[in-house]
Amino acid sequence: MPFTSDRKMMSTLEADHDHDDAPVVVAKGAPGVVLARCTQLQVGPATLDLDAPMRTHILAEVGALADAALRTLAVAYRPLDPGESPTAHVGLEQRLIYVGTVGIIDPPRAEVGQAIRQAQAAGIRVVMITGDHPRTVLRIAADLGIVRAGSAAQPPPRALTGTELDALAARGEPALAEAVRATRVFARAAQRFNCFNPRSETRSAWHGLFANPWLWATVGLSVVLQVAVVHLEFLNQAFGTAPLSPAQWGVCVAMASGVLWFGEPRKWVLRTYARRPARLGSSRAVGPAR
CA 272 and chain centroid, separation: 30
Tens of pLDDT, residues 137-161 = 888 888 888 888 655 556 678 888 8
Tens of pLDDT, residues 98-123 = 999 999 887 888 888 889 999 889 88
- Where do the domains of the chain lie? 9-104, 107-190, 193-275
Enter the pTM of the model. Answer: 0.54
Residue 108 identity: P
> Cα(141)–Cα(89) distance, rounded to whole angstroms?
38
Q: Which residues pair with 73 in a beta bridge?
A: 102
> Cα(89)–Cα(56) distance, rounded to whole angstroms?
29
Q: Which residues pair with 239 in a beta bridge?
A: none
pLDDT in tens, the chain (290 residues): 887 777 888 999 888 888 888 889 999 999 999 999 999 999 988 899 999 999 999 999 998 998 888 889 999 999 988 878 777 667 788 899 999 999 988 788 888 888 999 988 988 889 888 877 888 888 888 888 888 865 555 667 888 887 787 777 777 778 778 888 888 888 876 655 455 555 555 667 677 767 778 778 888 888 898 899 889 988 888 878 888 888 888 888 887 777 677 777 877 777 777 666 544 444 443 344 44
CA of 41: how far to CAs of 30, 99, 104, 139, 222, in Å? 16, 6, 21, 29, 42
> Cα(68)–Cα(62) distance, rounded to whole angstroms?
10
**How confident is the model at residue 150, as a pLDDT?**
57
Residues 9-104, CATH architecture: 3-Layer(aba) Sandwich (3.40)
Same CATH fold assignment for domains 9-104 and 107-190? no
E-strand ranges in the chain read 9-16, 22-29, 38-43, 46-49, 71-79, 96-104, 128-129, 160-161, 185-187
Secondary element (H or E) of residue 261? helix 258-285
The edge-to-edge listing of strands for the beta sheet with 160-161 is: 128-129, 185-187, 160-161
CATH of 107-190, one of 3.40.50.2000, 3.40.50.1000, 3.20.20.105, 3.65.10.10: 3.40.50.1000
